[in-house]
Amino acid sequence: MSRQFLRCAWLTLTLVLVASAVHAQGGSPDHPAVTVDGQKYTPLSIVTRNMGADADQTTAFPPFKIVDNIYYVGTRTLSSYLIVTPAGNILIDSTYERNVPVIQKSVEQLGFKFSDTKILLGNHAHGDHMEGDALVKQLTGAQVMAMAEDVPALKAMKPGGKEHPVDKELRDGDVITLGNARLVAHLTAGHTRGCTTFTTTARDNGRTYNVVFGCSLRAPNTISPAVEAEFNRSFKVVREIACDLQLGDHPAQFGMDAKYAAMKTSKTNPFIDAKTCHLEIDIEEAMFKAILAEQQKK
């Protein structure tokens, strides 16, 4: 049996499972459809774009410096970021527990010590972003911080029976500092109750830029009044955040592959691009409104 056949079979199974998950949320995987910037999107296409196949979720993307002291250490489709400071390092998103050794290897390939991780942040309480928190803490002793609204969901996340550590509960607007790094935690709820967008600044060629680590704004296929209110607030909040460099919990949300490739030939940093800061918001808000409109018709 060829590798190509096995890969196609696995991809097919992945798409079936994703479609089932979308149906379980109360919606159709290929409807509604929206078009943003000439590209058509459906609930299923957004999920598959974000997650890819199983191999994409667990295979390291070549670790690299994005800008200044910010590095990418995640997989092909699950983001993880390292912020390096003289007082130790900050890791954003542990992803799945099985990916922690992958992230550790990427950190070490960049020449840093994984044990120097002093703070672990996560942007929302789903397994593909924060399941590995307990193992990271076990390996590094890092202080685990999470938005208070996500703590109940995190406490229910127990890979292998491990208790999910939360050393500090964050509130909207809290500032996290370590060495020369300063991040602000913004509550951008909807995808989860405590979905958190982190912001910081970075220097490049003598200029200071606003960096945004966005949290997913993907709406469920059944939107309650409470979730509708959360999303409406979050879209407004995110659009008001100053942004020159947009990152996210999935690389596809900010076109990482293309920008990474462009780094080899571009005279300027392709990740610094204020024009694309709101593209993902435009996609997710259009889908949110389409789902809501369809729901209201019913």
Helix, coil or strand: residue 65: strand
Enter the tokens of residue 204.
Answer: 């490049």
pLDDT digit string (tens) for the chain, length 298 residues: 444 434 444 444 444 444 444 433 434 567 799 999 999 999 999 999 999 999 999 999 999 999 999 999 999 999 999 999 999 999 999 999 999 999 999 999 999 999 999 999 999 999 999 999 999 999 999 999 999 999 999 999 999 999 999 999 999 999 999 999 999 999 999 999 999 999 999 999 999 999 999 999 999 989 999 999 999 999 999 999 999 999 999 999 999 999 999 999 999 999 999 999 999 999 999 999 999 999 998 7
Enter the tokens of residue 21.
Answer: 């998950």
- DSSP structure class, residue 268: S
